[in-house]
Structure 1
Amino acid sequence: MVTVIIYSVCVYFATIGFGLLINLPRKALNMAGIVSLIGWLVFHTVNVHMGGYLAADILGTFTVGILSIFASRYKKMPVIIFNIPALVPLVPGGQAYQVMKCLAIGNYALAKSNLIQVIFIAGGIASGFLFAEFLNQLYLRLKTYLRTKKATR
C-alpha cells in the first residue's frame, strides 16, 4: 500500500514536471496531474489484479481520454493539453529501451520479443484514446439529436 502511495505521488509530480517541460499553461498543470494519476491508478489496478499489461494500458488510456475530455470542458482548454502529459506514465519507455539495448548487444530474439510488447502497448494506447473519443462523439451526436427532436415538437 505504501509503495502505491509513493508511486502515485511520483506519477503526479512527473506529470507536472513534464507539463512544465512542454510549457503547459500553469492553470492546467494540477488538472493534468490529477488526470494522469487516476489513469495510472486504473492502469496499476488492472495490471496487478487482472494480470495483463495490454488490457491495463487500454483501460488506463481510456480513463485518461475520458477524464481529459471532462477536464478540457471544465477548464475551457483543448483536450490535448491534458492528454499528452497524462499519457507519460503509460508510455512503454522501459520496453523501448530494452529493444535498443538488445539490438546493440546482438540479442535479436529478445529485442524482437520486447519490440512486439512495445507495438502492442502502443496499439493499446491508441485504442484507448480512440474508444474515448468515439464515446465522446457518440454523446455529442446523441445530445444534438435529442435537442433537435425536442425543438421540433
Structure 2
Amino acid sequence: MLLHVMGAFFSVVAFSFLLHVPRKYIVWAGFTGAVGWWLYLFLLKLDFSMAMATFLSGCLISLCGQLFARILKTPVTIFVITGILPLVPGAGMFRIARSVIRSDGMTSYNITQTLIVAGMIALSIMVVDSIFRLFLKNKGDYHVDRR
C-alpha cells in the first residue's frame, strides 16, 4: 500500500507541473493526493463500497485543500484539482470503451460505475466547500450586502 501512496504522490507532483502549479505548493498538492489515495485504499480494504470510499477520500482531499489554501493563502483549486487526480475514473472510461468494442454486455455496468465515481468526486468537493462557506461566511471571506 505504501508503494501505491508514493505513486499517487509522484503522479500528483508530475500533474502539478503540467498545470503550472507554483513550485512552493507542489509538495503540498502531492501530499493532498497521497493522503486521499491512502484513505481510498484503506477504506476499500475495510470492505467499503467504491462509491463510499471515493466520497470519503474526496472529502479528505477537499478538506486538505481548503486547509492548505487558508494556511498558505492561495486558491483552493491548486490543491483540490491536483489532489483529486488519483481518484479520477480513468480505468472506468477504458472499461467502457473496451466493453463497447467487444460488445460483452458490461457496457451499462461500466458506465454506471464510472458515473457513480465521478459523481461522488463532485459531491465530496461540493459538500466540503459548502461546509466551509457556511462556517466562514461571518469571517469576512464572503461579502454579503445587507441593505
Question: TM-score with structure 2 length normalisation?
Answer: 0.90
2:77 maps to 1:46: no
* Residue 106 of structure 1, aligned match among 92, 96, 103: 103
Q: For 2:39 and 2:23, locate their aligned partners in 1 and report how far apart those are by CA, in whole Å.
A: 26
2:61 maps to 1:64: yes
User: Identity percentage over the alignment?
Assistant: 24
Mind listing any 5+ residue stretches in structure 1 that lack a counterpart?
A: 145-153
Q: For 2:19 and 2:139, locate their aligned partners in 1 and report how far apart those are by CA, in whole Å.
A: 34
How far is the alpha carbon of 1:142 from its aligned partner? 5.4
* Residue 129 of structure 2, aligned match among 127, 130, 133: 133
Mind listing any 5+ residue stretches in structure 2 that lack a counterpart?
A: 141-147
How far is the alpha carbon of 1:102 from its aligned partner? 1.1
Q: Which amino acid aligns with 2:123?
A: S
How far is the alpha carbon of 1:143 from its aligned partner? 4.8
Q: Secondary structure at the match of 2:84?
A: helix
Residue matched to 1:149: none
| Greater Rg over alpha carbons, structure | 1
Q: For 2:131 and 2:40, locate their aligned partners in 1 and report how far apart those are by CA, in whole Å.
A: 20
Comparing 134-143 with 110-119, greater Cα deviation is found at 134-143
CA RMSD of aligned residues (A): 1.2
Q: For 1:18-56, what per-residue CA distance to the aligned partner results, in whole angstroms no more than 9, with x for missing partners?
A: 111121111110000111111111111112103310000
Residue matched to 1:75: 72
Residue matched to 2:115: 119
Preserved CA contact (<8 Å) 1:47 1:55: no
Q: For 1:65-97, what per-residue CA distance to the aligned partner results, in whole angstroms no more than 9, with x for missing partners?
A: 111011111221110011111011001111110
- Higher share of residues assigned helix: 1
Q: Secondary structure at the match of 2:106?
A: helix
Q: For 1:125 and 1:118, locate their aligned partners in 2 and report how far apart those are by CA, in whole Å.
A: 11
2:21 maps to 1:24: yes
Q: Secondary structure at the match of 1:38?
A: helix
Aligned structure 1 segments of 4 or more residues deviating by more than 3 angstroms: none
Q: For 1:103 and 1:126, locate their aligned partners in 2 and report how far apart those are by CA, in whole Å.
A: 26
Q: Secondary structure at the match of 1:130?
A: helix
2:69 maps to 1:84: no
2:130 maps to 1:96: no
Question: TM-score with structure 1 length normalisation?
Answer: 0.87
* Residue 31 of structure 2, aligned match among 31, 34, 38: 34
